[in-house]
Amino acid sequence: SERPETDATSLATTTQTAQAFNLSKRDLSIKDQLEQLVDIGLQEHWLVQPGALQHSPTFQVLGCGSFGMTLVTHYYGAEVVLKVPRDSRDTAKAKSLIVSGHELRILRRVHHPNIVMFYGAYIDPRSSEIALVLEYVRGR
C-alpha cells in the first residue's frame, strides 16, 4: 500500500533536531551547525564536557576505518571507546562530520542489548570536532 502524503511529517528531515543534524546544509557554516548540535546535546543531556574524558598518555587504538578511528579512554572513571573522525583534510573532514552527525542522530535514540551503549558526544564547534563516547565491549 502507498503512504499518504501526510506521512512526510515523520521523515527525519522534517523535525527541528534532524535539520540541525544535517551537516551538509549549505546555508549555515559547519561551526554554526555544530553549535546547534551543542544546544541539542545540552537539552537532551548527552553532551560530554571536555573535563569528563580522562585520556591516558598513550592512546590504545582499537581500530581505524575509512571515516574514523576508535580509541580507549575513560569517562568519569569508566573505560569507554572514543570514536573520532580520522581525516583532517577539509573535504574529507566535512564528509566525516556528516557521517558522525548521522551516527550521533541515530545512536542518541537507540537502546538495544546488541548495540553498544551511547554515552554521549563531545562537540567543539571552534575546531569542528565531534567525538562519540561509546560503551567499551571487550572481545573474547
pLDDT tens digits for 58-104? 778 999 988 789 999 999 989 999 998 876 555 566 777 778 888 88
Residues 105/18, Cβ–Cβ less than 8 Å: yes
Residues 111/17, Cβ–Cβ less than 8 Å: no
CA geometry: angle 67, 75, 106, nearest 5 deg: 45
- How many Å is the Cα radius of gyration of the chain? 16
DSSP state of 47: B
User: What is the reported pTM?
Assistant: 0.80
- Tell me the three cell numbers of residue 17: 533536531
Instruction: In whole angstroms, give the CA distance from residue 86 to residue 89.
Output: 9
Residues 74/59, Cβ–Cβ less than 8 Å: no
pLDDT value at 121 more than 80: yes
pLDDT tens digits for 8-53? 444 555 566 666 666 666 677 888 888 989 999 999 999 999 889 9
SS3 of 34, please?
helix
Question: How distant, in Å, are the alpha carbons of 17, 47, 74, 121, 139 from that of 50?
Answer: 23, 10, 11, 10, 28
